[in-house]
Amino acid sequence: MKRPLREKETWTRPLLSCVGVLVAYYAFPVGLGDEPVAVAGLLLTVGGMALLIWTMVKEFENLRRGEMTRSSQALSMLLILLVMGFSLAFFLLNHVRPDEIADLNTRTDALYFTLSTMATVGYGDVHAEGQVARVLVSGLIVFNLVVVAALVRAQVSRRTGERES
């Protein structure tokens, strides 16, 4: 018989995965010396993010219906992957079109820009200036609003269902 996992144990793999994703993000060679390679990398990154977003949408649909097919740790991992994907996309976009995002020079700048956008803080030191960057940022903002609304709705539905039981 399997024993239930303690709270600490349930978050060990997602935390280790987060560390692994960060290491991969900084270590992944993006071929910045060759613009066609960077464009191809950007397209592949955006395609991968689209697949990841589709997966998250399906997961939120399951949550809305009350199906707990994945754990909160799995959703957290998907969100971490999304952050890394957007960070890489912004970094590659800045390489291909340097005037799109002001003051984005490093991968850390791209990660900072992504997190400040997702948190809707927007400090202004790194900001989207070009149209392509603004489209990507707008998509990220809309996605965040949808995710937050879905999570709040799922929590309210779950708690309402628990009270009625």
How confident is the model over 77-117, as pLDDT tens digits? 777 888 888 898 899 888 888 989 999 999 999 999 999 88
* Model pTM score: 0.66
Position 68: which residue type? M
Angle (nearest 5°) at CA 91 between 86 and 92:
100
**5 has a pLDDT exceeding 60:** no
Q: What is the pLDDT of residue 111?
A: 92
Higher pLDDT among residues 84 and 62, named by residue: 84
Domains (range + CATH), the chain: 32-164 (1.10.287.70)
Angle (nearest 5°) at CA 87 between 80 and 72:
10
Buried b (16+ CB within 10 A) or exposed e, 75-103: bebbbbbbbbbbbbbbbbbbbebeebbbe
Distance CA 139, CA 46 (A): 12
